[in-house]
Amino acid sequence: MRDTLSRNEIDQFIQDGFIRIDNAFSSKTVEKCLDILWKDLPCDRSDPASWVEPVIRLGMYTQQSFIDSINTQRLHAIFDQLVGKDKWIPCRSVGTFPVRFPTSQQPNDTDKHVDASFPGSDPGNFFEWRVNVKSKGRALLMLILYSDVSENDAPTVIDKGSHIDVARLLSQEGDMGLSFMELLGKLDGLPKREKAYATGKAGTVYLCHPFLVHSGQAHRGTTPKFMAQPPLILKGELSIEGADVKFSPVEQAISLGLE
């Protein structure tokens, strides 16, 4: 297993906005994490009849098994490749879990969106958080699979190449960029893009450009889906201009939207 991405894989990330990393962490780590998550759920792991809600959100997880899952030597090496050495901060939490269950009820959180990265006028209001063309605060969006996810198991829907369209849109909005809701209102006006689905075995990690448009969907399978979606925190802002700057792949992708 290679520890780093090939040139072709980096080019794929720049063009499509994401790369899939298989076997990013071990099955032993997966089981430790799942044991913790199931204990926090208000339903029975062995009784599907108790799985009545389409989505249950669990809070921030900082236990060592979660930290281990996203801080492997291999992932750190790839962060350096995509973002740049010493430009990101190691994760100390994997964020919240939208645990999705197979049920006839429809979830109410399936709108396509781009995750915001820095606070607005009210830091406590997520809908007022913002995103700008330099991606202040966020180096990557990560989709971390802690359960096997097939096409029936509510995989995250990815609009391939949409990060380029979002970069173009944000380039008109200055350093303050747009709020989560302002950007949400503009996504339907972007070009239609081919869909991809974040499937894979538990232990798979999708590393996504911070501007990538994505969405949830209803679960049509039989086994609950466990996925975290934390940011990789950026120390500062990305560089998007300058003749003497050696741009990282994340920055190169933004430049495609500025041409």
Question: Is 178 part of any domain?
Answer: yes
Give residue for tokens 């070009």: 191
Question: What's the confidence (pLDDT) of residue 52?
Answer: 93
Question: What's the confidence (pLDDT) of residue 251?
Answer: 96
Query: What CATH number should be reported for the domain holding residue 71?
Result: 2.60.120.620
Residue range(s) defining the domain that contains residue 15: 7-258
Question: Is 2 part of any domain?
Answer: no
Question: Is 138 part of any domain?
Answer: yes
Question: Is 104 part of any domain?
Answer: yes
Domain count, the chain: 1
Question: Is 102 part of any domain?
Answer: yes
The answer to whether 17 and 209 are in contact (CB under 8 A) is: yes
Please give the Cα distance from 32 to 63 (Å, whole number). 10
The answer to whether 221 and 233 are in contact (CB under 8 A) is: no
Q: What is the pLDDT of residues 41-70, one digit of tens each?
A: 999 999 999 999 999 999 899 999 999 999
Question: Is 1 part of any domain?
Answer: no
Question: What's the confidence (pLDDT) of residue 78?
Answer: 98
Question: Is 150 part of any domain?
Answer: yes
Question: Is 184 part of any domain?
Answer: yes
Please give the Cα distance from 144 to 109 (Å, whole number). 18
Question: What's the confidence (pLDDT) of residue 124?
Answer: 84
**What is the CB neighbour count within 10 angstroms for residue 151?**
10
Listed residue (226, 219, 224) closest to 202, CA to CA? 226
Question: What's the confidence (pLDDT) of residue 2?
Answer: 66
Calculate the alpha carbon distances from 190 to 19, 97, 133 in Å.
22, 28, 16
Question: What's the confidence (pLDDT) of residue 55?
Answer: 97
Q: Which residues of the chain have pLDDT under 50?
A: none
